[in-house]
Structure 1
Amino acid sequence: MTKPDAATRPDYAPRIPQSLGPLAGFDQGVWLKGDWHLHSRHSTDSTNNPVGKIIGFAERHGFDYLVITDHDVHVQGDVANHTWADPEYTSEKLLLFYGGELTAARGHINILSAEPYDHQRVFDARDARDWNLLALKQELGIHVSANHPSTKNHYGYSFDLADSVEIWNGSSWPKNITGVRIWDDMLLSGRMLGARGGSDAHHGVPDRPELTKPNTPEATANYVGTPTTWIFARERTKEAVLQALVEGRASVSANPYNPRVELYADLDGDGQMDMMMGDNAKPTGAPVTFEVRLAGGGIEGAVYRVKVVKNRQDFLTLQTDPVTRTVRFTDTPSPEGRSYYRVEIEGPQATYPEVPNSMALSQNMIALSNPIYFNYDPAF
C-alpha cells in the first residue's frame, strides 16, 4: 500500500507558527540530559575507562545525570564494593545514580536506583522466575530497564517486569532498528513502556590507543552521550528523574549537540499544548493537533525530516520549518481503540567535538521521542 502524501491528506492541516504556541503547565519542570548505560574499569571487558575519566568528561560536556552500570557478573554481583565504592564515583555537578548491569543467561538488565540497594540479591536471583524477580524489584524499590532487546545479549525477561527499555544502544543507529520494532510491538499491545538510550561505552576515547581495543567502532566512536537521553523531570532530583523515565517524559538524540525533540498535543483544541510525551488521555472524537519541536543544539538553518509513527505504522513524513524548527499535524484518535503517536527525526548530524567518529555511525538519525497515548490502561 502506498502511503498518502501529507499535503493531499484530507485530515492534514499544516500550520507552521511564527512563534511557539503556549504550553499548558509544562513550565513546571526541567529538562536534564544524561547517559543510562556506561562501563568503567570495574568491568573486565572495559579498557582505558576509569570512573574519574567518565565523570570528568560528562561534567565538561554539561551533562546533568549519569549512572555507571558495570557488569555484575565480573565481580560476582558485588558492584557496591567496586563501582560504588570507587573514590572517584562522586560529583558536585552530576546527579549520580546507583546501578549495575545484570548479566545473565536470559540477557542483560540495567538496575537503576536513586539510592544504594542490595544488588547482590538481584544477582543471586538472576535466573529466578519473572514473578519472583518482580516481587524482589518491588521489595528493593529499584528500576528495571530492559537493555538492547535485539542484540546477541538481548533482554530475555518479561517486558511486564521492565520499567523502561533501551531502544537506542551505542552510536551505531542501524543495529537498533529491530529493537525499536520490539518496542513498537509492546506499545501496540497496550503497554506504556518508557524508552531511553544508553551509550554502553566500554572504552575511553583513545587518548592512549595502546590501552584501547584498536580498530573497533566502540573504541573510537562511542562514549558518554552517544546517544543522549533527555528527561523532563518535575525537579532536579534523582527520584524525579527516575519517575519521569517511567512515565516516558523523555526523548533520545544521537549526541548531546543534536537538537532535543519534544512532542506535544492540543487535546481540547483551545490552542494550548496540554499533552506531552508520556501523557495518556481519553480522546473526545474531535481532531487533535500535535506539535513537534526541536530545542537547542543542531545546525542553524537546517531542515529536519520528521517521521510520525502511529500504532507501529509510518503515518506522516513532514519537514521542520528552519526558523521555528517546529511542525504541526492533525489527526483524530479513535474514541474506542488505543492509539499512540511518536516521532523520529532525521537530518544532518551536529559535531560531537571529542567523539567525532560517532557521527558516521549514527548516519542521519538525529532523535526520537516517546509516545503520546490515547485510551491506554495505565494499570496494564
Structure 2
Amino acid sequence: MKRAISRMVVVCGTAVCLLACGDGTEPPAGPGSAPAPGLTDGEWLAGDLHVHSEHSDDSSLNPVARITALAQSAGMDYLALTDHDNHVDGDVAHHTWTDPDFLNSPLIMLYGAEWTTQRGHGNTFSARPYDHQTLYDLRDEADTRIGEHVRREGIHLSANHPATSDHFGFSYDIVRSIEVWQSAIWPNGTNEAALVIWDDMLKSGRDLTGRGGSDSHHGYPQPGETPSSNSYQAPANNVGTPTTWVFAADRSAQAVVDALDNGRVSVSANPAAPRVEFHADLDADGAPDLMMGDNAVASGEPVTFQVKLVGSAPALLPYTVRVVTDGYELMSLTIFPGQSGVQFTDTPPVGQRKYYRVEVTGPPTLYPQVPLSIAVGGNMVALSNPIYFNFGSSR
C-alpha cells in the first residue's frame, strides 16, 4: 500500500508554496489517513508499537496493568498491545481488546494485534476496533486479497522484524510502515539489516514509515513472584526499548495512527533518551519548511537541513549524526557537548527521487524503569524518518 504524502511543497520564486494532495494531480490519501499537521501544530507523543501481554501464550509476567504502569511511569503517552492472533484463533477482539485494564488504561491505546502467519509477522494499528478475524483468515491468501481487506478496513498494517527468521514475507505494497528498530539490542546486526531493507523499499519509491517496537514479551518479576525461564529477556525487550515518537495533531488514537501514516515519526533508544528532529529549509530564510514525512518538488537550489536532539540532559561526550540518502552515507557530522544540533546543505536533483534521513549514535541514556537495558543497547541513540523530494510523481 502506497500512501500519499499529505504535504507537497514547491518553491514558488522566493516563496514556499503548499500544494494540497488528492486534487487529481497527486494520489488521494489512504483510508483513515488525515492531512499532516503544520510544523508547529502538533505534539510529540512517545509510545511503543510492539508489546505482548499475557494474552499471548509466549508471554510471562506481563499483565496489561503492569505494562501500562511501566509506560506511564516512564512518561509515555500511547501504547499498541499487539498480542499474537494465532494464540486465540484470530479473535483478539474478545481477549486483549476487552481486558478491563486495556479499556481503562490512562494511556492512549491503539487497537492492534501481531498478525502471525507462515510468511512472517506484521502488526496492525487502528484507532477503533476493526474486523481482525477476517484478516487472520486471509493469512494464506494472495497479497492482493489481503491488501484489499486492509484498505477496506482502514487498518495501518506494518511489517515486523524484516531481517529475522520470521521476517515479513508479503508484498511491501500492502503495508504503510516497517519495523526498523526492534528491541534494545544492536550488536547482533538485525537492526542494521532492517535498515538496509527499509532503504531498499525507499529507493523503490515506497514512502514507508520507519518505526520502532520493543517486541516486549516478559516483565520483571515483582516481589514474591517466581522468575520465568524467559525473565532474562526483560532488559533487552521491555516497554519503550525503543520508543517511537509521533508528531500528532492531538492526543488521540486517531492522531497517532495518522502520524504513522504521514511519516511524522522519530525513534529513540528509550523514553529518557533524546529524540531527533529533522527539518529542511527550502528558501534559505532560516525557518524550516519541511519535517520528516514531507515531500517537496526539488527546485535545483541548495536545501539546508537541520538536525536537533531534544529531550535529554546535556551529554559529556559528542553525538555522531550519519546522514543517509538513497541508501548510502552522504556525510557524518558531530554534535559536540554543549550543542543541541547541527545542519548541512545539499542540492536535491530536479525531477529525480531522493530522500534524506539521519541516524544518531553516542552516549547511551539510562532508563530507570528498565535499569539493565543500557548494558545491551549499544550506542544507537535515535533515528529519523526521511524527508522526500520528487516522490509524488512516481506513486
Query: Given the two structures, how large is their TM-score scaled by the length of structure 1?
Result: 0.90
CA deviation profile, 1:169-224 (whole Å, cap 9, x unmatched):
111123211011000000111111101100000000233673422574x2333211
Tell me if structure 2 keeps the 8 A contact 1:293–1:326: yes
Question: Paired residue for 1:64, among 69, 77, 86?
Answer: 77
**Structure 1 residues 229-240: aligned runs within 5 Å:** 229-240=244-255
Give 3-state SS (helix, strand or coil) of 1:55's partner.
helix
Partner of 1:333: 348
**Structure 1 residues 286-297: aligned runs within 5 Å:** 286-297=301-312
CA distance in 2, matches of 1:205, 1:131: 41
How far is 1:91 from its partner? 4.0
Partner of 1:40: 53
Question: Paired residue for 1:53, among 63, 66, 83?
Answer: 66
How far is 1:299 from its partner? 4.3
Question: Paired residue for 2:318, among 303, 311, 323?
Answer: 303
Give 3-state SS (helix, strand or coil) of 1:134's partner.
helix
Partner of 2:177: 164
Answer yes or no: is 1:210 the counterpart of 2:223.
no
CA deviation profile, 1:244-290 (whole Å, cap 9, x unmatched):
11111111011111101011000111211111011100111111000
- Percentage of matched positions with identical amino acids: 51
CA deviation profile, 1:70-95 (whole Å, cap 9, x unmatched):
00101111111111111111345311
Partner of 2:236: 221
Answer yes or no: is 1:80 the counterpart of 2:93.
yes
CA distance in 2, matches of 1:114, 1:214: 32
Tell me if structure 1 keeps the 8 A contact 2:212–2:243: yes
Answer yes or no: is 1:344 the counterpart of 2:359.
yes
CA distance in 2, matches of 1:65, 1:155: 25
Note closer, same or farther for the CA distance 1:273–1:71 as it changes in structure 2 (3 Å cut): same
Answer yes or no: is 1:315 the counterpart of 2:333.
no
**What are the ranges of 5 or more consecutive residues in structure 1 without an aligned counterpart?**
1-23
CA distance in 2, matches of 1:220, 1:142: 31
**Structure 1 residues 9-48: aligned runs within 5 Å:** 25-48=38-61
Answer yes or no: is 1:251 the counterpart of 2:266.
yes
CA distance in 1, matches of 2:230, 2:170: 33
Q: How many residues align?
A: 356
Tell me if structure 2 keeps the 8 A contact 1:43–1:70: yes
How far is 1:155 from its partner? 0.4
Partner of 1:144: 157
How far is 1:306 from its partner? 0.4
CA distance in 2, matches of 1:48, 1:60: 18
Q: What letter corresponds to residue 216 of structure 2 in structure 1?
A: A
Answer yes or no: is 1:285 the counterpart of 2:268.
no
**What are the ranges of 5 or more consecutive residues in structure 2 without an aligned counterpart?**
1-36
Aligned structure 1 segments of 4 or more residues deviating by more than 4 angstroms: none
Tell me if structure 1 keeps the 8 A contact 2:70–2:369: no
CA distance in 1, matches of 2:185, 2:329: 22
Tell me if structure 2 keeps the 8 A contact 1:204–1:212: no
Note closer, same or farther for the CA distance 1:185–1:146 as it changes in structure 2 (3 Å cut): same
Q: Let me know the Cα RMSD of the aligned residues.
A: 1.6
